[in-house]
Amino acid sequence: MRNRLLPALIALLALFDAAQAASPPSPVRVGVLAFGTLNWEIAAIKNAGLDQAQGLALETTPLASAEAGKIALQGKSVDLIVGDWIWVANQREQGLNFAFAPYSTSHGALMTRPDSPIHGIADLKGKRLGIAGGGLDKNWLLLRALAGKELGLDLDSAVEKTFAAPPLLNQQLLEGKLDAVLTYWNHAAKLEAQGYRRVLDGRGIARGLGVEADVPALGYLFREDWAKANEAALAGFFRAAEAAKQQICDSDAAWAKVAPLTQEPDAKVQTALRRHYCQGRVAGFGSAEAKAAGEIYSLLGKTAGPKATNSQGILPEGVFWIPRPSAVDTN
């Protein structure tokens, strides 16, 4: 049923604002990681001509790392990347007008071997734990907060920590050099496809700390001044991206064109990546999610202090992008 709806959706997008389509396309410069899911979406958009239907000229810039993307965004060599709202909050605290629009609720996870004795946080004591993202990684700070709340355990000193890039951590877990890894969702999905066990994910950590709403972990990041000057183009990009997500998740034919971009020859790994990506589709974002983000930001401040948040631990205004009604598709 869903597959039959896709041609109709694409046709509707192609007919959207035909007068605007006759105008020169609006450029949107997107920074993409070679193996990132945004690369999947851009490919799906171009495969189906969704950019042209929205009057867009998408220009992509390959990025070597997430940090390279932030530098490119700060230097105005790209208009949009994917990243986390914590970074946006810290930038706004410094007076820089970056903004975040929800992209994915896929969360990182704590992974271990299928036969491991680790079944909860208490079992991590004395174990070798690999951590992606560094000492100020959001999931690591929240896991520490949960260990303190539930067990009175200072996890920072209770485990033997290894900070490294996710692929290296996965390899060390496979080789038995680590007992568990706290890693990003896509690398957790790869481990899961190989039979490794998920102990706890970012959503479960947040709920253990009393945060009920599911806050998108990743979002589209852009400069607020650019967004205000290009609201129609940004709204068109969001429409195209949402249609691309639907194709990736609902059409096996569309997924077959995108799957090689995962750089994973194993069909089981590809399937796991697709499943977790699709589970992370954002259903909506409102006051409950914004409130939950404020609660998370406060928890980060209590755990790591001003190194992770501003001195008050209060989420700055304007982190989450709210388009003006005139820029929203009402068709």
Percentage of residues in the chain having pLDDT higher than 70: 89
**Cα–Cα nearest to 100, from 324, 236, 291, 285:** 285
Between vectors from CA 67 to CA 176 and to CA 131, what angle results, nearest 5°? 25
CATH numbers and ranges of domains, the chain: 2-105+215-327 (3.40.190.10), 109-208 (3.40.190.270)
Per-residue pLDDT reduced to its tens digit, 252-289: 999 999 999 999 999 999 999 999 999 999 988 999 99
| For residues 80-103, average pLDDT | 94
- The DSSP result for 255-271, as a single string, is HHHHGGGG----HHHHH
83 within 8 A of 161, measured Cβ to Cβ:
no
Place of tokens 């867009």: 56
Model-level pTM?
0.86
Q: Under a CB-based contact definition with an 8 Å cutoff, are residues 182 and 272 in contact? A: no
What span, in angstroms and rounded, lies between the C-alpha atoms of 298 and 169?
29
Q: What is the percentage of the chain residues whose pLDDT exceeds 90?
A: 80
Pairing of strands 109-112, 160-163: unpaired
Instruction: Provide the pLDDT confidence category of residue 330 given band limits of 50, 70 and 90.
Output: very low
